[in-house]
Structure 1
């Protein structure tokens, strides 16, 4: 599937609730991947909405100011009668800065001096999804196209969901694929291709009015050119399969009017990488219009079986596969941030989100991190506005 995908929408509290939780509580309990359910048939959204997001991203390593990204995203969701809806997305981002390092000890980074040097690129992505609603189910089909000067990707997806008669349980399943074409500027990869397939199954269960859980199992397959053409000391296998298990639990605290969101994700692939992610967020309504959500995330991964820590002598001899890409190393990372959402009136709302990411080899709690890898820091700032009509 595409490199980045937005998880959408949610399910509400159990239908046998002794009392209504209200809109804020339902929104706070929301889990991605399932449409809202409150004891009625699946219906297309009653109103259309248009939203715009602005994103600013910056990352750095010691002595190297690296990548800067400025992106704008437009999203339109519109009902098409009572049984259909349309979801369209347009994203445009501009990337600039130093090219990435191959490794701390062997830097292939191109520094930017007074705005000169480094790399510059513009990417555009367009996506369209159509959903048809049945009495207790819905099915969606989507396509997207992403292009930049050295990479073009076309993807598709089909996913469905079905709710139980009492609306407390929802099952979901989906399949998606992509076809990518790579033509790197440095001519290391010309006319190369990559294909991928994703499969997902899952279940969402409302235990009671205050607790919502979800479990998803995803299987990913990629084939073709999987190297990074802009890194030296790189020869990866032409296939990569991955299994992902994701469990979510949202708990509403009625006395405080807040909701704790939590999740655990386990990742395993044929590269030998094993990764764990623990994610938490605390939804705090402030009055009737403002919601503040602080969040924290911890990530740790084991290095790929063919990753090596170079000492300046180049790639190890006698190995079919090797890479000094720091993204394949063993490390730990922490992300902390907060989001504020404000409903201006019945039509307009606005939101702002900031996150700070820090990655270090020594922060891997599940074992020693890879030696010789510099710390990595990134910041995300997102500002959004939406109009409901």
Structure 2
């Protein structure tokens, strides 16, 4: 009998996981044990915990003793944002697979998984939604959609904006995409369909996507792009990926879009670049402090579009466990799917 342990949270409850398992598990011989981590928090507090998980890593959190006891005999572990750290993995005696109902892997100790030969399957569920949102932010920023709405809401009929003199249609601009994972690739395809020139850079990527994008070096993409859109995971290597040097390379008419993680940008360098007019503006869905305080320097700026970390918020979130179980079912049958690490354990 398969023992399946699920850890629900404030966004995806254990009941959604159970529903997916009952409908999609390959056979009927299984036992489910359910737990909740961060499930009792309100939305703001939960978002704060999510940010901590992603910035501090899974080992920052102490797992409940009841969960540690349960994991000893667990064969399959399914989570969303709950940390899966070394202490938890060290106690697992029969773990065959970890299923992750999200695209990001920041809450999983991948090094320990690799050392122990435990494969990790993730649900790439919100790539389409985030790519759409990034495209929306581009249009909102270069066409002053959000900024003009704020003006009208304050009784101002304003037709002159920060980009007077270089207010071009998106088709006539060059977009640089940094990070060609699932989201970056979908965004590139959408932009190409609109006739946009797309440049691309992905650190350490060996395999190129089969799209007519123009690959450039890091320096070239910052120099040549009218819009830079970030789609990297936040790691020790990518932290402050956009700093003083990169911002200095950008055109004074260029804008920066970030729907990925705030830590990809050096905040002090970014603020100075905005204040000094070194870049034209920015559109951000992620921030170094969430929620933003009322007096934050980004609020009320005429050259910045901001949204409250909602790029991936669609009905697809609740579908995460079902997307995950579809991938797990394929893995169970020996089919290739979205296994993160290690590849040699791709088939059971």
Report the TM-score when normalising by structure 2.
0.32
In terms of fraction of residues, the more strand-rich structure is 1
Report the TM-score when normalising by structure 1.
0.29
